Amino acid sequence: MSRQSSSVWAPSRFAGRFFVSVERWSRFIAEHAGQIGLLIWNMLAACARLRVPRRDILRQLHIIGIQSVPIVVVAAALIGVVTSQQGGYQMQSQIPLYIMGSVVVESVVLEMGPVLTAIVMIGRVGARITAELGTMKVSEQIDALQSVGRDPVEILAAPRVLAMIISMPLLVSMANLVGITTGMISAQYTLGLGQETFFYGARLFWHSYDIVYSLLKALVFGAAIPIIAIHMGLRTSGGAEGVGRATTHAVVFMTLTILVIDALFPPLFLN
């Protein structure tokens, strides 16, 4: 093809490619959305029929909830310190120092506590779930489970999701407490802000709804992370490399989902 004719055709070729990729993307999104919807539906059905083994829920509570405590506490402690220091840095001269109490408490409770706990849990729990189920999928263990009349959604998916939904609000509550405490201590040492003043400032702008908002986030994140992880695990194919690929994709998918949900929270729930 000569150079001229190709440049004449370029716009329509571009448009063609554009529509092909739009089509591919919408099919991709529809496929994931459909599969996730079905997964959620099957999981609800399994819970409604009380078919989820209690022993597995307890086991997952241990792995997902209890074993995550140390990393969540460490992350929250650091977040508290950083929030308080950064706030202090910006808050010289005119602004009264007691505002710091509110800055630390509100940013930890409304944003940092839930979101950072979720990010930690994506790495610690989400990736693990995808890798675990992905390996079972590519080695035909999921097939084998079905062949003996067991339902992977009941036995593998539901216990993990339930454990995560139970754990997340507790972990986030803990992260909030720890973050506020370290923020307060840090403010005391670096800004000389006493405890009473800190809490005076915190109370000034505090709504009891804030804790509801924080725990609601925890709950939604706690459902979204394992559901995506399981979905990505169960559609894994292609051996060890496929498991690696699925896990990476799952982490990206979970992180973006958490950030998007987080961005939707203020317009939906803070009015």
Partner 1 sequence: MSVAGNGSGPAIEYRGVFKAFDEPVLSGVTLSVERGEMFALFGPSGTGKSVLLKTTIALVTPDRGDVMVGGESVYFGGRDVLERIRRKVGFVFQYAALFDSLTVFENIEIGIPEENLKRMGANAVAQRVWESLELVNLDPKQVLGKLPSELSGGMKKRVGIARAISGRPEILLWDEPTTGLDPVNTAAIERLITQLSEDLHVTSLLVTHDIEGGLDMCDRVAMLEGGSLRFCGSPDDFRASDDAVVKAFIDRKAAIAALDTLEIR
Site for partner 1 in 150-179 (CB under 8 A): 150
139 binds partner 1 (CB under 8 A): yes
Binder of partner 1 out of 140, 204, 239, 252 (CB under 8 A): 140
Q: Minimum CB separation from partner 1 for residue 237, in Å?
A: 10
Binder of partner 1 out of 35, 85, 141, 188 (CB under 8 A): 141
Output the 3-class SS for the chain: CCHHHHHHHHHHHHHHHHHHHHHHHHHHHHHHHHHHHHHHHHHHHHHHCCCCCHHHHHHHHHHHHHHHHHHHHHHHHHHHHHHHHHHHHHCCCCCCCCHHHHHHHHHHHHHHHHHHHHHHHHHHHHHHHHHHHHHHHHCCHHHHHHHCCCCHHHHHHHHHHHHHHHHHHHHHHHHHHHHHHHHHHHHHHHCCCCHHHHHHHHHHCCCCHHHHHHHHHHHHHHHHHHHHHHHHHHCCCCHHHHHHHHHHHHHHHHHHHHHHHHHHHHHHHCC
Nearer to partner 1, 130 or 186 (CB): 130
31 binds partner 1 (CB under 8 A): no
10 binds partner 1 (CB under 8 A): no
Binder of partner 1 out of 4, 149, 267, 271 (CB under 8 A): 149
Sole window of 25-33, 110-118, 134-142, 254-262 interacting with partner 1 (rule: CB under 8 A): 134-142
48 binds partner 1 (CB under 8 A): no
Sole window of 32-40, 135-143, 226-234, 240-248 interacting with partner 1 (rule: CB under 8 A): 135-143
82 binds partner 1 (CB under 8 A): no
145 binds partner 1 (CB under 8 A): yes
143 binds partner 1 (CB under 8 A): yes
Residues lying near partner 1 in the complex (CB under 8 A): 136, 139-141, 143-150
